[in-house]
Chains A and B, each alone.
Chain A
């Protein structure tokens, strides 16, 4: 579903990504971990077509992000630690706006469906600014899945969430994985990342230093390998 080949990104003289090669199969959930500044967010922004790669390319669903970014956008949903929502609009108004931009068919029915999925239907007519951080993040997921994308890119979606909101978001994520979507999630939480993923990868120094199936990898081993990769 996602093929990344030789992806590089430099900001002036600073090289952030130094040639990333990565394959993610359809329906696979990949957790990408790495220290601050490793390039996780830059990598996801490039896949989401929000930033241009300096070199290399990635195919999403067989479509090049460099050559056909608009076509790629239709097939991806992005959740980041920022909600990408409009605080002064209600949940329904936010979703109506994005639904119109994505040409979502039967929009009102689809909005009800995704709001039920993230358990926010009862607050649908309240302005987003009245929501807790956890509720905003759940609505952000509803926004991202509204147009039924096959690929979900999640950039540290747990940032700023309390324990209860984290547990609820974990349930939503497991639902996403079960729905057959391809997911790439970045996180600092190794345990949580390992728990929800089919495969884990470590991005360090602008390269994928390690990747392995999550099944059979203990959190103890994962922490040890992570420490080794980060050290260097």
Chain B
């Protein structure tokens, strides 16, 4: 219980500070929106090819905009010196990881809340598929933020830290992104659940494995 209170305190602090400035969220949202709009014009999407391309476009928007938020997560702490204050606290370091990961997931999820309906309207997709796509987005967001938070902590102590995070994160997140794209496409196409089972397993398995690994290794990553 005490551990969860610390987790909540870290997440509350990050979200409260973000609520004041809306700095990171605005950047993430505008970036995601621009990706959707640029792809829409560049590919001249029609109803017949939209279903093939939209899942990939959506996940490019989610992951690239998510990268902006993940990058700022520890860089802000490092630049203003508050990372030391955080590390001075007599708490299990995994509570810091979990709090940060929840805040990052919440920001990514909030971007998705706005981007998904816009995309459905822009690409003229059926809203019937939306509930299941929300589930895929939630699982994909948690997985991406989970491993991204760990790599963000790792990258913050490197020289080219803003460049380093995507270089570290994307190769590891490839299975998650593929599973999320395949599931989104399958749900849009109305494929039966049995055909999508292995992608669900991959997505949930990735979340479970990388969340556990990140949780266990964060202590070593954040140390000097």
Contacts and interface: CB of A to CB of B under 8 A. Distances in A.
B89 to A, nearest CB: 4
Interface string A44-62: 0000111110000000000
A71 B80 contact: no
Interface stretch (A85-93, A181-189, A196-204): A85-93
Given A84-B82, A85-B82, A101-B6, A52 B90 contact: no
A88 B25 CA distance: 15
Interface in B74-105: 80-82, 84-85, 87-92
A83 B77 CA distance: 12
Contacts of B126: none
A54 to B, nearest CB: 12
Interface string B95-138: 00000000000000000000000000000000000000000000
B223 A70 contact: no
B9 A101 contact: yes
Nearest to B224: A51
A49 B85 CA distance: 11
B198 interface: no
A102 interface: yes
A52 B224 CA distance: 8
A123 interface: no
Contacts of B9: 97, 100-101
| Main SS class of interface, A | loop
A73 interface: yes
5 contacts: A52-B224, A71-B90, A86-B80, A89-B20, A93-B13
B4 to A, nearest CB: 11
A157 B2 CA distance: 33
A51 B223 CA distance: 8
A73 B90 contact: yes
Nearest to B92: A70
Contacts of B16: 89, 93
Contacts of A84: 81-82, 84-85, 88
Contacts of A100: 5-6, 9
Nearest to A83: B81
A143 B90 contact: no
Given A97-B12, A127-B20, A82 B224 contact: no
A143 B82 CA distance: 12
B17 interface: yes
Interface string B8-39: 01101100110011000000000000000000
Contacts of B13: 86, 89, 93, 97
